Amino acid sequence: MLTALRAYGAFRGPSISARTLHFLGDKLTPATLISSTSAHFKDPKDLPYQPLRRQLSSSTPDSASRNRNRRPHHLSNLDPKLVQLSDLLDISDRTLVSLQIKWTDKPTTVARQRIAYKSSGGGNTDKIYHRFPPGTRGFLYFHRKPGRESNILAGEIRFRVVGSSDLNLPAQELFANGHDLQNYEGHTPWRIYLARLFLAKTHEGILDILVRQGLVTPKQKAEGRRLALETRNPKALNRGRILEDITDPFMIPLPSKNFRLVVLRSDVIEIFPFHLLPWQERPPLDRNAQSEPPREWKGHALVRFELADISKTPRKKFNGHKKLVLRILKLFNQRTTFHLPDSGDFVRTRGGAIRSWDLDIAHRYLGPSHMKILEEGYSLKKSV
């Protein structure tokens, strides 16, 4: 219908303005309706008018839903110990959620903050936003694992989903009975890492709340921002998988041609690049390996760093045969049954050899403190 309007305008006189098209939006069919706050979806090939493509949504909400999408939510608390019913947010089916920072003692001039469930694609015009799941009602809050208070970069913003049947409970009890919103893939909690908050100026208001509530000190904010801005690859910090502590398991896609892991150290933020990470199922020992060709895993895997004894090779002489490896703890996203040993397995090359890194490379990316933790946990005494 928009194409017909354009063609008609070209025949009769000046083209229809974008503002007029926006006004006509309520009159158009759902297939052609434009919403200023809806997700940017991949361009349909049959839509010839280029400037309209980046705002076309494949699932158009009704007028009431569009008005709700434009209305900002007030945000003044991120401390889970201080939650009140007034902090409750309903962001169900939203693409971009606008947050207005609101103080009780004085008005704020901080620009509205925006959060998204998941975005994909490159650039502003081609970026695709996915909606928050239905029933996403609850509290935004700051989470930091116990014992990591001294870590400047440790912490993240999460969303605690609460049940609609519990809304008559006190806020603290409502929060305790809830559960963390999971990410788009469903593997880990949805989160905004503190390190990314330091990097993005668009989240200045969220940082202000953390500082005002004593969850982050002004000194931590200044130092964290310095570390984030000095990162050699800020784009990787925004998009890569973040490892807060060397003992934490983390998700990786397998096979993976190029994968960047953001390692948060106390002195610097390092980007650990991985190349060609596959994993093939090895038949159990009681089966004939020759009669069953190895199957390559295609999905996500939960892994962690370890030091392991690898058979000596005539390559580098740094610490001999002790190497950095990735142990697979769990496999995801595959309906076909794959056999993973109870103790897990190592990420391997397509030839079956254990994928490993020399300790000089490990020291370069992980740093002395992380390597010390791995050394303390190193207990393998025989070749694997």
**DSSP structure string for 274-302:** EEEE--BPPPPTTS-TTTSPPPBP-EEEE
Per this entry, what is the length of the chain?
Answer: 384
Instruction: Return phi, psi of residue 196, to 5°.
Output: -75, -30
Task: Quote the CA–CA distance of 266 and 224 in Å, as a whole number.
Answer: 10
Q: What's the pTM?
A: 0.74
pLDDT confidence of residue 334: 61
Instruction: Return phi, psi of residue 180, to 5°.
Output: -75, 135
- What mean pLDDT comes out for the span 335-346? 74
Q: Is the pLDDT of residue 43 over 80?
A: no
Mean pLDDT of the chain: 76
**8 A C-beta contact, residue 142 and residue 207:** no
pLDDT confidence of residue 109: 56
Band of pLDDT at residue 200, cut at 50, 70 and 90: confident
Per the listing, tokens 């194409």 go with 3
pLDDT confidence of residue 142: 98
**Hey, how many other C-beta atoms are within 10 angstroms of the C-beta on 247?**
12
Reference 265, options 307, 227, 237; nearest CA is 227
Q: How far is residue 213 CA from its own chain's centroid? A: 25
